[in-house]
Structure 1
């Protein structure tokens, strides 16, 4: 069974958080443990994630909040080839997050490159960490399928999200999409007269 790497955000995920329930309910899941959850540094967190991917060989990612930004930061790195797919839940917008948690986060700027793996981006109408307009923008930039779950805040304990069966169903939707994509044969190069570029 393909491992699932669970990526929490700032402060980690407390026992009542849906990610903690995920780890209990899915034996193939592993927490990517960080040494310092209170003062995230992108290079340090990336190093730990890449080590976990190397150990797993291939893995899915289930990320929340700042963990989504960590996952998106894999774009352009060789280790991204080890990611089979990613469920990205309530990503935080770094400018908003830095205003709310001044001086705590060293994550640079928002990643904007298209993700080289399938991804399902889940957000809400009233997340104070990411506006709907920005959520839609990053879904487009990352090439992610977008699911809006309504008035769900930051999709965390404060918004009433402990054990989250809906998240399990979304993950199965993502995996089904990946299985479908895996069955599509690569396109063969066209033969015959060259067509002039339209660019």
Structure 2
């Protein structure tokens, strides 16, 4: 499934942050987003994932194709590693978690409560959820936070396997994952101030 972004303008707190974005993410491909902190990478990913509407433009992707991994690991601390993965497998209507356990070296932790894991182990479990979604398009926001060198390599291998099976990945990261991927620097797409509005046109009520 191809993901297409056309003439996209996005906002944070009602203020446009990036504009004029155009890109296509084809099956088997990865696209790395780069740019300084605060430029709008997370907002872009959230918009592409359908969690907030764009100001202008379109995100074209088939229904139920996207799996989104944000800064939060999305875990239930009182559930074990296996129970967390089974929970997400049930949510996405898939079967089996062994591939996820193997892919992120979680077999020795399978019965441990997620709340008792280290930060790196929690991150691995959070990323392992991707393997039980069955979704072809992965959208990942700084996925390697808290991971050691070996775990970063493990994650990169999981992405390569996903791409080899026809999946795709849109990843915001500052590190080199060693992937064969295109890079999009979003810095040049910073939104210009909107004339006469001070940039606050359409400000969400919660920010007033």
Query: What TM-score do you get using the length of structure 2 for normalisation?
Result: 0.30
Q: Which has the higher contact order (CA 8 A, sep 6+)?
A: 2
Task: Give the structure with the larger strand fraction.
Answer: 2
Task: Give the structure with the larger helix fraction.
Answer: 1
